[in-house]
Each structure stands twice: as C-alpha cells, then as structure tokens.
C-alpha cells in the first residue's frame, strides 16, 4: 500500500504505477508486472472522501467554534482547500488501493504465477 501511495509499482517500488493522473498503467515500466487486471472501481473516491472529510470537518468546526469567521471567508478558504486536498489524495489513494489488491492477490493478480 505504501508503494502504491507513492505511485510506484507494488512489486518493485521503482516503476510508475500510473499512466497519467489516475489511470493505472498496463504494466510496470521497471519489472513488467501486469497491472491491466486491476480494477479499483469506486473505492478510491470513497476512501478519499472519508479522509478529506475527517481532516477538514474538525478544522472547520474548530475555526467556527473559536473564531466565527464570516461565511464568505470560510468559503474562500475551505472550498479550494478541499478541492486541492482531494485532487492530491485521489491518485495516491487509488495507488494504495491497487497495492492492497496486489498484496491480497485480488482482481486477477493471483492468476499470474509470476506475481
Ligand atoms: Zn514493478
């Protein structure tokens, strides 16, 4: 999961896991691990929403509770923060999900004796 989170191949930790922003590469560029069978589906966005929510909501609550800033200021601060955090985390969470799938031999990884 750690290698996947760092967007590296779950087997060798060297090759790129992603081809583009969030599309998983067909094979590892370093060790040749076939990544085409993996399917993370809706899990990465779901986990990303949970993580971002658990980071942002307590901060929003504390800011409102102790300083009560104007709603416009909160919108100016929180909306870009949420968008940036989500966009940064989504490919990494997807990489971690693919890494977990590979480690658990899920979604076709177990069919190849080389894995
Ligand atoms: Zn590799």
| Å from CA of 5 to ligand 1 middle | 14
Burial class (CB in 10 A: 0-12, 13-18, 19+), 97: buried
Residues 13-27 have a mean pLDDT of 94
| Å from CA of 106 to ligand 1 middle | 17
Rounded Cα gap, residues 97 and 44, in angstroms: 7
Residues 31-44 have a mean pLDDT of 88
| Å from CA of 85 to ligand 1 middle | 27
pLDDT for position 88: 97
Q: Give, as one character, the DSSP assignment of residue 110.
A: G
pLDDT bucket at 57, cuts 50 / 70 / 90: very high
The reported pTM is 0.86
* pLDDT of 115 strictly over 60: no
Phi-psi region of 50 (alpha: psi -120 to 50; beta: other; left: phi over 0): alpha
Alpha helices in the chain (DSSP H): 2-5, 43-67, 71-103
Rounded Cα gap, residues 48 and 51, in angstroms: 5
| Å from CA of 75 to ligand 1 middle | 42
Residues 5-27 have a mean pLDDT of 94
pLDDT for position 96: 96
Rounded Cα gap, residues 77 and 58, in angstroms: 14
| Å from CA of 74 to ligand 1 middle | 43
| Å from CA of 28 to ligand 1 middle | 5
| Å from CA of 31 to ligand 1 middle | 4
Mean pLDDT of the chain, nearest integer: 91
């Amino acid at each position: 999961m750690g290698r996947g989170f760092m967007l590296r191949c779950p087997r060798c930790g060297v090759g790129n896991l992603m081809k583009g922003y969030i599309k998983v590469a067909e094979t590892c560029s370093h060790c040749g691990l076939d990544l085409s069978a993996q399917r993370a589906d809706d899990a990465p966005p779901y986990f990303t929403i949970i993580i971002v929510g658990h980071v942002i909501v307590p901060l929003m609550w504390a800011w409102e509770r102790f300083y009560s800033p104007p709603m416009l200021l909160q919108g100016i601060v929180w909306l870009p923060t949420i968008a940036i955090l989500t966009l940064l985390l989504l490919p990494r969470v997807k990489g971690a999900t693919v890494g977990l799938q590979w480690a658990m031999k899920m979604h076709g990884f177990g069919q190849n004796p080389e894995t």
